[in-house]
Amino acid sequence: MLKTRVIPCLQLIGEGLVKTIKFKNPSYIGDPINTVRIFNELEVDELCFLDIRASQENRQPPFEMLQQIANECFMPLSYGGGLKDFEAAKRIMSIGFEKLVINTQAWRQTDLITKLSGHFGAQAVVGSIDVKKNFLGKYQVYINDGVDKIDMDVVTWAKKLESAGAGEILLTSMDKDGTWSGFDVDLTKKVADAVTVPVIANGGAGSLAHISEVVKKGNASAVCLGSMVVYQQKGMGVLVNFPDKIKLASALA
């Protein structure tokens, strides 16, 4: 197992696996169940599934498919998308997922974070923050799959999520998502230095050097990979994969 967690972060729209670029133009990747089977063979340590349109489309998580994923998967699982209340979250955990990723509802009802943390433990609750720069270069936080901007600074919001009971922060750069251009290291460091809980950097990974940089310079405790684990290379076809673990360990050493 790697010292630094490197987590495939897989985007869903309902029951299909997709990949976006800057939160737009989702491209179909394939069947989530087959993808899980490949990651089982690759002995990945952890998987994250995010239904990116569930909140925007005001629908429940795809429970039946998530049950199939949990039945098939050998590694710890986290899920986010459409978790509007305690009962939906409880159902996800009863299916066999270990962590709940809360984004939109964390803003709409912050006490949900506290309730979930109190019941399942802080280690099971991940506060998710989506961030985009405005034309002046200022970081702004968005919810509802990048549609609605909230009136709070990213560092302030991260601290509030931590205080509410989130045991981790999933920090996604909307500008970097799907670009293969590297993580937003400055954003990651800004948030990681402000909170005591682990920060998971997400958005932009394109190489082992990018992973190393965001951990060593951005102080990320873990990283999520999207395009890197579902495509052969930038601009090439679908190929579910994972970086060579020896090379990955060397890059993170």
- CATH code for position 42: 3.20.20.70
Q: How confident is the model at residue 3 (pLDDT cuts 50, 70, 90)?
A: confident
Residue 186: pLDDT over 90 = yes
Domain hosting residue 33, numbered range: 5-252
Residue 68: pLDDT over 90 = yes
Helix/strand/coil (H/E/C) assignment for every residue in the chain: CCCCEEEEEEEEECCEEEEEECCEEEEEEECHHHHHHHHHHCCCCCEEEEECCCCCCCCCCCHHHHHHHHHHCCCCEEEECCCCCHHHHHHHHHHCCCEEEECHHHHHCCHHHHHHHHHHCHHHEEEEEEEEECCCCCEEEEECCCCEECCCCHHHHHHHHHHHCCCEEEEEECCCCCCCCCCCHHHHHHHHCCCCCCEEEECCCCCHHHHHHHHHCCCCCEEEECHHHHECCCCCCECCCCCCHHHHHHHHC
Which residue in the list 51, 130, 145, 184 is annotated as catalytic?
Answer: 130
- Residues of the chain above pLDDT 90, percent: 95
**Known catalytic residue at 175:** no
Q: How confident is the model at residue 142 (pLDDT cuts 50, 70, 90)?
A: very high
Residue 169: pLDDT over 90 = yes
pLDDT at 235: 86
Q: What is the mean pLDDT of residues 71-84?
A: 96
pLDDT at 56: 87
Phi-psi region at 46: left, alpha or beta (left = phi > 0; alpha = psi -120 to 50): beta
Q: What is the mean pLDDT of the chain?
A: 96
Q: How confident is the model at residue 1 (pLDDT cuts 50, 70, 90)?
A: low
pTM of the model: 0.96
Q: What confidence tens digit (pLDDT) does each residue in 93-132 have? A: 999 999 999 999 999 999 999 999 999 999 999 999 999 9
Is 51:62 a contact under the CB 8 Å cutoff? yes
Residue 2: pLDDT over 80 = no
In total, how many domains does the chain have? 1
